[in-house]
Amino acid sequence: MSAVSADVLPGPAPAGGRGPARPPAAELGPRARLWPSLAAVYRAQLSRARVARIPLLFVATFQSVGILIMMRGVVDSGSPDARSVVSGSAVLVVAYVGLNLLAQYFGQLRGNGGLDHYATLPVPPAAVVLGTAAAYASFTVPGTVVTAAFGGVLFGLPLTNLWVLAAVIPLAGAALAGLGAALGLLAPRPEIATLLGQLGMSAALLLGVLPAGRMPGPVRLLRDLLPSTYGVEAFARTFGARPDWALVAGDLAVCAAVGVASLAVAAWAYRRAAVR
């Protein structure tokens, strides 16, 4: 009889007499990191939404430009109210996409089972929310710049500080996109998500474009609770002869803080909806 190698013999039974010990389970592959996953989701969503880019840009920009033309008949050129109208109309482009369309998109994604596809991917929930929000927000850049430039010319405001939009668009966009994604993911039905997105955009229109000085006290309080208000205020302050950059930075910091909070809520809502 040939000798049997000791390597293939069963090991000693563990205490309690339950048979040979089982080999350790194989380790799973490493979890995808946040930033590479975010970049992959961003590219995929950007490619997907590219088909609707022209209608999206046209509707969002046309709406804000139409509001500027309408308000020109009741607001004096170069006045403080004109600054509010121009900045509010520019940020409204961001609200239309980040708040309204994202609420509709995530509401439909939850309603038709599209979240099941993302749930099978080894990507963090924050990457799905952030990547999708960033892709949609990217389409707001041309419309926001065009609206701000047109409004500045129409109301006789200086255009030297339009570069501030490089900070206003992503920070206000993050706050509004996080809110829109959370509304879409938490809504029980896609129709309610669409309704909430429309209501949010209407609030951004009425509370952001209309001059704050002409609003009653309770309405001004509601205005202060709207995330886009601080993006509007930050941009409006730059139209002055000598902008107070400390106040501009403070308004942008509020946008950033609300953006982090709202995107965190949206990521939690995504995890909650994906496991159901």
- Closest to 120 (Cα-Cα) out of 6, 32, 219: 32
- Closest to 111 (Cα-Cα) out of 176, 193, 180: 193
The pLDDT value recorded for residue 50 is: 67
Query: Which residues have C-beta within 8 Å of that of residue 53, sequence separation ≥ 6?
Result: 139
The pLDDT value recorded for residue 30 is: 56
pTM of the prediction? 0.83
109 is a domain residue: yes
24 is a domain residue: no
Query: Which residues have C-beta within 8 Å of that of residue 200, sequence separation ≥ 6?
Result: 95, 99, 100, 103, 176, 179, 180, 183
20 is a domain residue: no
9 is a domain residue: no
13 is a domain residue: no
- CA 150 distance to own-chain centroid: 25
Which residue range is the domain that position 195 belongs to?
A: 34-44+51-274
259 is a domain residue: yes
From first to last of its 276 residues, what are the pLDDT tens digits of the chain?
444 443 433 444 444 445 455 555 444 445 567 788 888 888 888 877 666 666 777 888 999 999 999 999 889 888 889 999 999 999 999 999 888 989 998 999 888 887 877 777 778 888 888 888 888 888 888 899 999 999 999 999 999 999 999 999 999 998 999 999 999 999 999 999 999 999 999 999 989 998 888 888 888 889 998 988 999 999 999 998 889 999 999 999 999 999 999 999 998 998 888 766
How many folded domains does the chain comprise? 1
25 is a domain residue: no
Cα–Cα distance between 135 and 219 in angstroms, integer? Answer: 32
145 is a domain residue: yes
